[in-house]
Amino acid sequence: MPDPVLALRDLTVEFDTEDGVVRAVTGVSYDVRRGEVLGIVGESGSGKTVSMLSVLGLIPVPPGRIVSGEALFDGEDLLTLKGRRLREIRGGPVAMIFQDPMSSLNPVLTIGDQIGEAIRAHSPKTDDAAARARTIALLRLVGVPAPERRVDQYPHELSGGMRQRAMIAMAVANDPSVLIADEPTTALDVTIQAQILEVLKTAQRETQAAIVLITHDLGLIAELADRVVVMYAGRVVEIGDVFSIFESPRHPYTAGLLRSRAPLDSDGAGLEPIPGQPPSLITPPPGCPFHPRCVQSRGREVCRTELPELRAVAGAEHRSACHFAEELAGEVRA
């Protein structure tokens, strides 16, 4: 396998709360390969976003803290960086598209000012005219109509889809090697979602960046991802290429996610929701964190007492954290 551009190793992140210590991410390890789209899926609270915010030094400290782990970007551990060096990486070679553009954009600055600031932050010698020209070119790249006029508008003057395009333009302004997209189509209608997908594809072609796509939308994963990381209760429970994950999942949680989505030709009558609720991250259950909801467990003691390791189940590329992953072999859940 080629060397990863970004490698997470045993990342553990905690938050202090009034009710106790929340272990939001526990022992997370995965690689992001050059030029690929890596999808990260799971329910809300599974640790998808926290893991990436930790890599960029964006979790609030306190109450948050990184307990252990490494985030190796081209051999440099991002978790140890501070000050100027971290700012050089963030928004430059590693950039992020945030979930809500309305709260991420500054309401009192024009779109052009904000994208131009991102450009000058990493290219201080860029003058105002060059920054403006580059900003207009970026807006045109992501499909913003009349970019010469939009560049002088404020966020509230743009639609949700246009604001998200502006956020993508800002993220790719400095030709990143890794582009992190956190729920990039949330709160957008289906037509606009399809347009944003095309924008992401265009951005990747232009920058050759690896994309980390954080989402709960399995349709988005099927459309864009090359490989998939499935997270549950702050842990990675399955990793594999997108075809293996959809055609032959090897973890009961992944299979449950696939069963709970509505096919296009269905009225929803055949949906099978995953029973129960995600566990508390303050007092997680012993053994496998999914066992209280797992139909595969059938009350077996090993599921209740031993934490399963993430192991190869169908070649080195497909790994699952399930004691009985082999029992799911050959089951089609797509």
Is the bond into 285 cis (omega within 30 degrees of 0)?
A: no
What's the whole-number mean pLDDT along residues 188-204? 82
* Whole-number pLDDT of residue 332: 44
| Distance (Å, whole) CA 184 – CA 303 | 35
pTM here is 0.90
What's the whole-number mean pLDDT along residues 95-104? 85
Percent of the chain with pLDDT over 90: 62
* Whole-number pLDDT of residue 334: 40
The confidence band for 333, taking pLDDT boundaries of 50, 70 and 90, is very low
Higher pLDDT, 40 or 191: 40
* Whole-number pLDDT of residue 18: 93
Percent of the chain with pLDDT over 70: 95
* Whole-number pLDDT of residue 263: 65
Question: What are the tens digits of pLDDT across the range 65-75?
Answer: 999 999 999 88
Out of 3.40.50.300, 3.30.2310.20, 3.30.9.90, 2.130.10.10, which CATH number does the structure's domain 4-225 have?
3.40.50.300
* Pick from 182, 232, 174, 246: nearest CA to 211: 182
* Whole-number pLDDT of residue 331: 53
| Distance (Å, whole) CA 212 – CA 4 | 13
In DSSP terms, 213 is beta-bridged to 39, 181
Q: Write down the mean pLDDT value for the chain.
A: 89
| Distance (Å, whole) CA 300 – CA 293 | 13
Is 80 exceeded by the pLDDT of residue 322?
Answer: yes
Is 60 exceeded by the pLDDT of residue 48?
Answer: yes
What's the whole-number mean pLDDT along residues 76-99? 91
* Pick from 155, 161, 119, 116: nearest CA to 143: 161
Q: Is 283 exposed, middle or buried (0-12, 13-18, 19+ CB in 10 A)?
A: exposed
Give Rg (Cα) of the chain.
21
Domain extents in the chain:
4-225, 249-328
Question: What are the tens digits of pLDDT across the range 290-306?
Answer: 999 998 888 899 999 99
* CB neighbourhood size of 12 (10 A): 18
Six-digit token string for 19: 């009710």
The confidence band for 264, taking pLDDT boundaries of 50, 70 and 90, is low
Least confident of 94-103, 125-134, 188-197, 249-258: 188-197
Question: What are the tens digits of pLDDT across the range 115-169?
Answer: 999 999 998 888 999 999 999 999 998 889 999 999 999 999 998 889 988 999 9
Q: Where are the alpha helices (H) located in the chain, listed in sequence order?
A: 48-55, 83-89, 101-104, 111-122, 128-141, 147-150, 160-171, 190-207, 218-224, 242-247, 252-259, 301-305
* CB neighbourhood size of 239 (10 A): 25
| Distance (Å, whole) CA 145 – CA 112 | 14
Q: Are 7 and 32 within 8 A, CB to CB?
A: yes
* Whole-number pLDDT of residue 329: 67
Six-digit token string for 151: 């560049």
| Distance (Å, whole) CA 176 – CA 191 | 27
CA atoms within 13 A on the CB side of 122: 22
Is 70 exceeded by the pLDDT of residue 2?
Answer: no
Is 80 exceeded by the pLDDT of residue 30?
Answer: yes
The confidence band for 41, taking pLDDT boundaries of 50, 70 and 90, is very high
DSSP 202-271: HHHHHH--EEEEE-S-HHHHHHH-SEEEEEETTEEEEEEEHHHHHHS--SHHHHHHHHTSPPTT--STT-
Q: Are 244 and 258 within 8 A, CB to CB?
A: no
